[in-house]
Chain A
Amino acid sequence: MAEGRVVGIDLGTTNSLVAYMQGDAPVVIPGVDGSNLVPSVVALDPIPAGGGRPTVTVGNSARKALIQTPERVIYSVKRLMGRGLEEIQSELKMFPFRLADDVEEGEVPRITLGELKFTPPEISAYVLRQLKRNAERFFGAPVTQAVITVPAYFNDAQRQATKDAGRMAGLEVLRLVNEPTAAALAYGLDRAKAGTIAVYDFGGGTFDISILKLRDGIFEVQSTNGDTHLGGDDIDNLLLTIALDEIYAEHGVDLRGHPGAVQALRKAAIDAKISLSTEAAAHFDIELPNGDRYQREIPRAVFELLIEPVLERTAGPCKQALADAGITPEQIDDVVMVGGSTRIPAVRQLVDGLFHLSARGKKPHIELNPDEVVALGAAVQADILAGASTATEEMLLLDVTPLSLGIEALGGTVARIIQRNSTIPASATEHFTTGVDGQTNVAIHVVQGERELAADCRSLARFDLKGIPPMSAGLPRIEVKFLIDADGILHVSAREQRSGKAAEIEVKPTYGLTDEQVESMILDSFDHAEDDFAKRLLIETRNEAETILTAVERAPQNPAWQLLTDEERRIVAEARDQLNAVKTGEDLTAIRNATLALDQATRRFAELMMDAAVSGAIRGKTMSAAGEELGEAVTAPHAMAPAEFK
């Protein structure tokens, strides 16, 4: 392929994944540790002894740091994306992160991590960079283009922040796709059928409901609704609060001041929640700092009663989405379940009731792993955009904008110019004029939301139309075009019609980074990406050395070893000792050369081993049984060959 692959990324609140289209099926790309899920956790390592910037780690290793150095770890950052200072302050009541103390009103808030400060898009960029690296490692080639999923109910600022994060991570974001729509793509791939489906997406931090019409490969979203402040996190926090309160009441221990202990307790709460999806009861058993034990049994019935108010909050958006699509629950042919929280039996029960499923002899779709389905769908969309495959050439996604776009009118009311659930791209043209003779500026305040008053909606941006030729009041006629693109992001252009001059627009996004800021954050992250890259390469090289050394240790057990001459065995032992001597050092080239030398020294042994295996196969053993004798590395061209260095 002339251009590189396009990968699909699910940038989740709790976990993130990267997937690609393998032939005609989407596949998740595992990380170095073999796991498909990369926890969306970012940790700052301690400052190196010699000074300099500390290294950033992402994923499972960062999650381990949560309990040891909680003040250097951040998670669930998706909840902070594209949000203003006040919103973040209220969000942070639930999380142990600290806002940088020098953040000013109107700035993108920064979070303190150890001795450094990061904006939410920067934190997300680290997660994205990890996924990018996993993909690059998997393909053995650079990956520069991606499709990233966002909650359908994300507003303009949250979408822009996600795109910014992609750019900081060195990814060209070809499209933002709504998560429920992506899930529908993943489900729709192998079932070319027509019908109306609802996607109920209850994830770690957000809830979305989307209703789609499927026909001839066209996935047309009818309506969408949701809550970007509602998810499994809320359930974890409920359990956590109860445990903290009980520990204080029964044992007189206030853990709230101990972030490490709170994180340990949070982990216990999450484990309890997960086990309650399959068990009748969960148990807390935690040793407290004073030596007491906090022991507590939570029966499922109690748990369900506790979380009912959280689950009930998903019902309103579902009903609104049905009303906006102009259909009844009975007209929904299928319901697709997405997000880890849909594993909770009470959630499935609620969905069953909302869409009258069992009454109609139907069941919600849970065939695809709810943690992976969004990433798989993102890979499908990536394939559609790459335009190079027959598997997706008939498919097309027509999505909608989740929120109405409006302009603040006189008296603070909202004049709606693009209605929610309009298919995107969508546009609207409005005309403005001046109120005072000679006026050369017109200010426009753009908001997003469904409320009547601008103050109750979400402020998107203030546009200042400048350079209007001085005329009598009411005479200029400024045409402003608002366009929501396929990512759900707003673009504005303006023209003064009487003079034909393009009016100059100065955009002040209410929440968000300027282009220059994003640019500086790219360079920044790239700078220490170089350090990280060298470090990563060293670790990988050491791993390769260990692999071949282990194989050499086992070699004498193989009958082929006896076929070597004494001289050959001596050379192998020498190369082995040489590699052992350098493998823990910092000299990448030395380790690499010693590894290659050992590989060379064992080449004849590998050939002998292969011959024995092949003749074994000829003597009647099956090839696969012969393969087992070769050990784990049977697919490599040389049984002991390390992975190729590039």
Chain B
Amino acid sequence: MLKVIDSAVPVACWSCSIGHNDFTLFCPHCSKIQPPPGGDYFSVFGLEPRLNLDLAALEHEFHRLSRKLHPDRFARAQENEREWSLADTALLNDAYRTLKEPLRRTEYLLKLLGAEIGSDAGTEQGGHDKKDLSRVPADLLEEVFELNMQLEEMRMARKLGETDPELQVSLERAKRKFDVLLSEVDQDLRSQWQVWDEGDAAVRKTAQKLMVALLDRRRYLSNLVRDVTETLGA
């Protein structure tokens, strides 16, 4: 579950000993760098959990914090400050990388809320997750079956050094279709962002369920598109 920032137990600053809450990168009293704070990636940027983010503002804040936290600024500092600068900057970078990318952001928020999500959702460079291919969305069952047959045929033909222009055209058509389905999923996700950001607890819960399902569908479709692209490009 999300941590509620207000209930944070005060901790004391290592430098000036004055208490502050555990969610700050710098002591509010003496401005010294603090060990990696508790809290989620949103709180690193002083944000409430949200799915629609102002990316320009996020980048600006990332740069501002980088200037203050980066190990380059602590190259000749004492050892504990050097260590915290390293840990804090890693946290900042991890947070920025996750939040700036819409799918990673959505996945992160849903996981934070306790959802179980397959690995690598939306990360374009992620590894193949072949096991997920068994979870075919019901409405695509027939088409996927057909497509897999064609992919197999195509690979066989390639192996034998043959070309099958008809199959090529058919696969290209299938790829276009799945690309369209993908962009539909993305649109649906975006509208659920809005719903979640503005909704109350009950509305959010429904939106969360929908988004988990959409992410599953998206991962399935993008694996499919990648397989077709790879086979066509081979």
Q: Does B158 interact with chain A (Cβ within 8 Å)?
A: no
Are A419 and B123 interface neighbours, CB within 8 A?
yes
Interface size on B, residues (CB 8 A): 25
The answer on a CB contact under 8 Å between A425 and B127 is no
Q: How large is the interface on A (under 10, 10 to 19, 20 to 34, 35 or more residues)?
A: 35 or more
Across the interface, do A485 and B71 meet the contact criterion of CB distance under 8 Å?
yes
> In chain A, what residue has the closest Cβ to B88?
A425
A397 to B71, CA, bound (A): 10
Distance between A190 CB and nearest chain B CB, rounded to angstroms: 20
Query: Nearest Cβ in chain B — how far from A404, in angstroms?
Result: 7
Q: Does A368 contact B (CB under 8 A)?
A: no
Closest A residue, CB atoms, query B93: A423
Q: Which of A382-426 contact B (CB under 8 A)?
A: 384-387, 396-398, 404, 413-416, 419-420, 422-426
A389 and B120 CA atoms in complex are apart in Å by 44
Closest residue of A by beta carbon distance from B67: A396
**CB distance A483 to B86 under 8 Å?**
yes
Complex CA–CA separation, A483 to B94 (angstroms): 11
Interface 1/0s, chain B 66-95, versus A by CB < 8 A?
Answer: 110011110110000000001101110110
The chain B residue with its CB closest to the CB of A428 is B94
Q: Which of A384, A385, A425 has the most CB of B within 10 A?
A: A425
Most central of B70, B72, B125, B127 by chain A CB within 10 Å = B72
B76/A387 in contact, CB under 8 A: yes
A175 at the interface (CB under 8 A from B): yes
Interface status of A174 (Cβ within 8 A of chain B): yes
Taking CB atoms, residues of chain B closer than 8 Å to A426 are 90, 93-94, 97
Q: Which residues of B contact A419 (CB under 8 A)?
A: 123, 125-126
Q: Is the CB of A486 within 8 A of B71?
A: yes
CB-CB < 8 A to B123: which residues of A? 419
Residues in A whose Cβ lies below 8 Å from that of B97 = 422-423, 426
A250 within 8 A of B: no
Q: Do B66 and A486 have beta carbons less than 8 Å apart? A: no
Which chain B residue lies CB-closest to A397? B72
In Å, the complex CA distance between A202 and B67 comes to 31
A215 interfacial by beta-carbon distance below 8 Å: yes
Q: Which residues on the B side are within 8 Å of A486 (C-beta)? A: 70-72, 86, 89
Contact of A3 with B76 at beta-carbon distance under 8 Å, contacts A416-B126, A419-B125, A423-B96 already known? yes
B76 touches A398 (CB 8 A): no
Query: Which of B73, B93, B123 neighbours the largest number of chain A CB atoms within 10 Å of its CB?
Result: B93
- Cβ < 8 Å to A, chain B residues 35-83: 63, 66-67, 70-73, 75-76
Measured between alpha carbons, how far is A384 from B70 in the docked complex, in Å? Answer: 11
Residue A384 contacts which of B66, B72, B90 (CB distance < 8 angstroms)? B72
Q: How far is the CA of A485 from the CA of B87 in the complex (A)?
A: 9
Task: Give the complex CA separation of A220 and B126 in angstroms.
Answer: 23
Q: Which residues in window 507-531 of A have CB below 8 A to B?
A: none
Knowing A426-B93, A427-B94, A485-B86, say if A218 contacts B66 (CB, 8 Å).
yes
Cα of A3 to Cα of B123 in the assembled complex, Å: 45
13 A-B residue pairings within 8 Å (CB atoms): A215-B63, A387-B73, A387-B75, A387-B76, A396-B70, A397-B72, A416-B126, A423-B93, A424-B93, A425-B93, A452-B128, A483-B86, A486-B71
Closest 4 A-B residue pairs measured CB to CB? Answer: A385-B75, A425-B90, A427-B90, A423-B93
Given contacts A218-B63, A424-B93, A452-B128, list 13 more A-B pairs with CB under 8 A. Answer: A3-B76, A381-B72, A385-B76, A386-B75, A387-B73, A387-B76, A396-B66, A419-B125, A425-B87, A425-B89, A425-B93, A427-B90, A486-B70
Q: Which residues of A contact B (CB under 8 A)?
A: 3, 174-175, 215-216, 218, 220, 324, 381, 384-387, 396-398, 404, 413-416, 419-420, 422-428, 452, 483-486
